[in-house]
Amino acid sequence: MNALRIRPVTHADLPAIRDIYNHYVRTSTVTYDEVESTSAGWADKAARITGAGIPFLIAEEGGVLLGYALGQPWSPKSAYRFTIENSIYLAPSAAGRGIGRALLAEFLDACRQAGLRQIIAVIADRGTDASLALHRRAGFVDAGRLTEVGEKFGEPQGVLLLQKTL
Ligand SMILES: CC(C)(COP(=O)(O)OP(=O)(O)OC[C@H]1O[C@@H](n2cnc3c(N)ncnc32)[C@H](O)[C@@H]1OP(=O)(O)O)[C@@H](O)C(=O)NCCC(=O)NCCS
C-alpha cells in the first residue's frame, strides 16, 4: 500500500491542482469561481503565495496528487500581514478517507512555523458539510455568516466565516 505524503507544492504539481479545482468550479458551489482556472494562472498564484512565505502544500499517494491546501493574504493592507484565508481541495475520489484532516493539520503546522497568527476559512453556506466538519474539528470557530453575497448557477449564495487562532 502506498503511503500518504504531504509536501510543499512544485511547478510540476500545478496541472493536477488545476484539474482538481476546475472539477469543483464546473460542478459545485463549494467555490464561487465560475470560470475554469489555467496552469498559467496557477503558476502566478503559487509564485505569489510562496513568495509571501505562505504555505502551499500537496498530498500525494504513490506519486498521484490527491489534493492541496494553500493560504492567501486576507487583505493587501499591511496591518493584516499575520492573517490568511485558507483553501483545501481533494480529488473527489480521495474525499472521506481522512486525507483532508491530515493535510489541514500539516498546513496549520506550516502556518505556525511561518509566523502566521490567524486563519480564516470562507466556506459556502450550502453543500459544504465535509468542509465545515473538517474545519471545526481542526479548531476553527464560527465567526459569522454573510447571506446572498454571491450568485452561481442562477442562485444567490452565501458564506460562513470560520476563524482559527494559531
Ligand atoms: C472538504 C474536504 C477537504 C475534506 O477532506 P476529507 O478528506 O474528505 O475529510 P476527512 O475524511 O479528513 O474528514 C474530516 C471530518 O469531516 C467529516 N466529514 C467528511 N466528509 C463528510 C461529509 N460528506 N459530511 C459530513 N461530514 C463529513 C469527517 O467525519 C471528519 O470529521 P471527524 O474527524 O469528526 O470524524 C474534502 O472533502 C474536499 O475536498 N471536498 C470538496 C472540496 C471542498 O469542499 N473544499 C473546501 C472548500 S471550502
Q: Tell me what pLDDT residue 60 has.
A: 98
Residue 59 Cβ < 6 Å to ligand 1: no
Q: Is the C-beta atom of 95 inside 6 A of ligand 1?
A: yes
- pLDDT score, position 110: 98
The pLDDT profile of the chain, 166 residues, written as one tens digit per residue, is 689 999 999 999 999 999 999 999 999 999 999 999 999 999 999 999 999 999 999 999 999 999 999 999 999 999 999 999 999 999 999 999 999 999 999 999 999 999 999 999 999 999 999 999 999 999 999 999 999 999 999 999 999 999 999 9
Please tell me if the CB atom of residue 24 comes closer than 6 angstroms to any atom of ligand 1: yes
Name the pTM for this structure: 0.97
Question: Distance between alpha carbon 164 and the CA centroid of its chain, in Å?
Answer: 14
Domains detected in the chain:
4-165 (3.40.630.30)
Q: Which pLDDT value is given to residue 1?
A: 63
- Cell 505569489, residue? 48
151 CA distance to ligand 1 centroid (A)? 24
Q: Is the CB of 160 under 6 A from ligand 1?
A: no
Q: Is 157 in the pocket of ligand 1 (CB under 6 A)?
A: no
Do 57 and 100 form a contact (C-beta atoms < 8 A)?
Answer: no
What's the confidence (pLDDT) of residue 2?
Answer: 80
Own/partner long-range contacts of 100-105 (Cβ < 8 Å, ≥24 apart): 100/67, 100/130, 100/134, 101/134, 101/137, 101/138, 102/4, 102/6, 102/59, 103/6, 103/57, 103/59, 103/67, 103/68, 103/69, 104/69, 104/134, 104/135, 104/138, 105/138
Quote the pLDDT of residue 76.
Answer: 95
Tell me, using a 6 A CB cutoff, whether residue 156 lines ligand 1. no
Calculate how far, in angstroms, residue 90's C-alpha sits from the geometric centre of ligand 1: 9
Instruction: Quote the ligand 1 centre to 77 CA distance (angstroms).
Output: 32
CB 60 within 8 A of CB 5: yes
